[in-house]
Amino acid sequence: MSDVLPDGVERRQFDGTERLATRGEPVYGEPIDGEWRAWNPNRSKLGAMFDLEMDTGLEGGETVLYLGAASGTTVSHVADFAGPTYAVEFAPRPARDLLEAAETRPRLFPLLKDARKPETYAHVVESDVDVIVQDVATRGQARVALENAQFLADDGRLLLAVKARSEDVTRDPAAVFEDVQAALEDGYEILETQRLEAYHTDHLGIVARPR
């Protein structure tokens, strides 16, 4: 498996340990080396997907719709190497931290919206985005991906981190993952899946493209 990283993401040494890194102002106390900031895959599902060498299709400079931006830990890294990055977060408290992360990132656009209701931000987000990154802790994660597919370019990518315990805490995660993948097939072709257990318990990384 090849190490496919977008432009603007590198593997660099921090205190003798090789880490993913992007250029930008620090956000959450991460180690820095000059203008580079370490990207912790234990705090980022997308970072875990990169560290596990999943082929995300990201090359750098893409327009991104990020669903479930929380306080900006991961989406700040995305905005370091991507183009316009729309960051959707529903909870007001983490959204305040997200706004702070955006202050030094002119390409990062925080939206205090619910990813389950894309009609509430359809007037803001441009059509034909290159990538949807989804990391939401809710039931119906496949439905969120399907309803937001309206923003995705025909040759775009969905990078989805499925949280099994958010779907159903009582079921076996493998069964949950199967159900989510089956539901996604209503609108997506799944290109790659990989368990993120090395970094995130009961999570599955999915790369897909619209049908």
Binding residues: 73-74, 89-90, 114-115, 135-138
Q: In what order do the strands lie in the sheet with 85-89?
A: 108-112, 85-89, 64-67, 129-134, 152-163, 203-210, 188-195
- The position carrying tokens 């996604």 is 184
Binding site as annotated, residues for S-adenosyl-L-methionine: 73-74, 89-90, 114-115, 135-138
Which two tokens mark 114?
A: 């619910």
Which two tokens mark 141?
A: 């994660």
Per-residue exposure over 10-26, b if at least 16 CB sit within 10 Å of its own CB, e if not: bebebeeeebbbbebee
Tell me which DSSP letter residue 202 carries: T
- Give the 3-state secondary structure of residue 189: strand
Tell me which DSSP letter residue 149 carries: G
CB atoms within 10 A of CB 154: 8
Look up residue 97 and give its amino acid: D
- Give the 3-state secondary structure of residue 49: helix
Distance CA 80, CA 207 (A): 21
Question: Cα 3–8–12 angle (5° rounding)?
Answer: 65
